[in-house]
Amino acid sequence: MQIRSLTLREIHLKLLTPFETSMDRVTERRILLAELNLDSAFGWGECTAGENPFYSPEDTQTCWHIITTYLWPMLKGKSIDSASDIWPLLEQVRGHTMAKATLETAAWDAEAKVKNLPLWKLLGGTREEIPCGVSIGIKETVEELTAAVKKELDSGYQRIKLKIKPGKDLVPVQHIRNLYPRIKLSVDANSAYRADDLHLLQQLDAFYLMMIEQPLGWDDLFGHVAIQKNLQTPVCLDECIHTYEQAEAAISLGACKIINVKLGRVGGHLQAKRIHDLCAKNSLPVWCGGMLESGVGRAHNIAMSTQSNFSLPGDVSASARYWHQDIITPEVTVSPEGTITVPTAPGIGFLPNLKRIDTLTTRKLHLT
Ligand code: OSB
Ligand code: MG
């Protein structure tokens, strides 16, 4: 298969409601979309970098720069047998996993379309339906939080994840746990705590959470070892795991018991699959994280989540929770049982809505 051209677009998409974490408050997404032409097929990928480098070192603008200056020249005109050849072609560039994943995931969609297969089958997925949870941002008041949780439980979501930070932790979590003693509940700190907050984190053990996600620094594997050793609640790593090697280190050090896999953070489907397989071999469950993606990224997350060790509900939820109107047809919907039915059409299985995308586009570059 020959890599023929790339159309890179930036779209601006307003969230229905602002999303607040310990890192920042997002009201509008700036999303890059890659449309990669492989033979006669066009594959779509979404860049999951944030608008600022507060979650990881990349942002929308660094990704545009890295893709156009370095990554595209490494790919253009190349002949490949499979999308799994993309990662090695980009290896000279260190880091920049989100920029790489933008193109790599587009190549997987294209390959699946060339082969007339749903992407999830090409990836070796087996699940025809995936379990869904939601990530709920930090709220001003416990009443607001309670209303948000009730709404998601009423919709059928199987797991509730609460964002926490110092001062917005024990009280809201205890409140929700008391109201709903039996639900699957977890928390995500996005690196808001320090090693000497151990005592506070231990108090969360009382709420029998499924996990505490990324309590310490975004790159602090070592610190998480001591935290996990002294907590009953499983630690789940998100930010820390940006390579296969970091996953290996985390597992062998005992820094976590669960890993959240995000396509952008690890560099695309090939690396996600390697980490998935490594975790399976070591009996760690994984789940699919979210980055407030538009429909294209959401579709890739669904395909990835069909692999067998994605055994915990992910953060992949319905388009309508985020957007007035998504950029794909049909939109992603969730059943009253809290599941997404995996699409059967070739590639990502959802159609990018070009008309809608055009109206949201703020810049566009066609590269050959
Ligand atoms: O830590 O999982 C995270 C959103 C942006 C950046 C980091 C995270 C998140 C979420 C939202 O938790 C998940 C989603 O609903 O897409
Ligand atoms: Mg997280």
DSSP percent split of the chain into helix, strand, coil, nearest 5: 40, 25, 40
Report which protein residue has its CA nearest ligand 1's atom 9: 291
214 CA distance to ligand 2 middle (Å)? 6
Dump pLDDT digits (tens) for 199-255.
999 999 999 999 999 999 999 999 999 999 999 999 999 999 999 999 999 999 999
Write down how long the chain is.
368
Please report the pLDDT score of residue 86 as a whole number: 98
Q: Domains in the chain, ordered, with CATH? A: 3-116+352-367 (3.30.390.10), 121-341 (3.20.20.120)
262 given a catalytic annotation: yes
Q: What is the DSSP letter of 335?
A: -
* pLDDT tens-digit readout, 19-66: 999 999 999 999 999 999 999 999 999 999 999 999 999 999 999 999
Mean pLDDT of the region 301-305: 98
pLDDT tens digits, residue range 340-357? 999 999 999 999 999 999
pLDDT-derived band of residue 10, with 50, 70 and 90 as boundaries?
A: very high
Site to substitute for ligand 1 among 29, 98, 135, 265, most atoms within 8 A of C-beta:
135
Residue 193, C-beta contacts closer than 8 angstroms, at least 6 positions apart: 166, 200, 201, 215, 216
C-alpha 86/C-alpha 301 separation (Å) is: 19
Dihedral sign of CA atoms 320, 32, 219, 93 in order: positive
**For a pocket test of ligand 1, which of 162, 241, 292 has the largest count of ligand atoms closer than 8 A to its C-beta?**
292
What's the mean pLDDT when you consider all of the chain? Answer: 98
Name the pairing type of β-strands 3-20 and 361-367. Answer: antiparallel
Q: How far is the CA of 104 from the centre of ligand 1 (A)?
A: 21
Percentage of the chain beyond pLDDT 70 is: 100
pLDDT digits (tens, 9 = 90+) for 80-103: 999 999 999 999 999 999 999 999
**Res. 112 pLDDT band, cuts 50 70 90:** very high
Question: Could you give the CA distance from residue 81 to residue 170 in angstroms, rounded to a whole number?
Answer: 52
How far is the centre of ligand 1, averaged over its atoms, from the C-alpha of 237 (Å)? Answer: 13
- Catalytic hit among 163, 168, 257, 273: 163
- Minimal-distance CA residue to ligand 1 atom 7: 291
CB 145 within 8 A of CB 162: yes
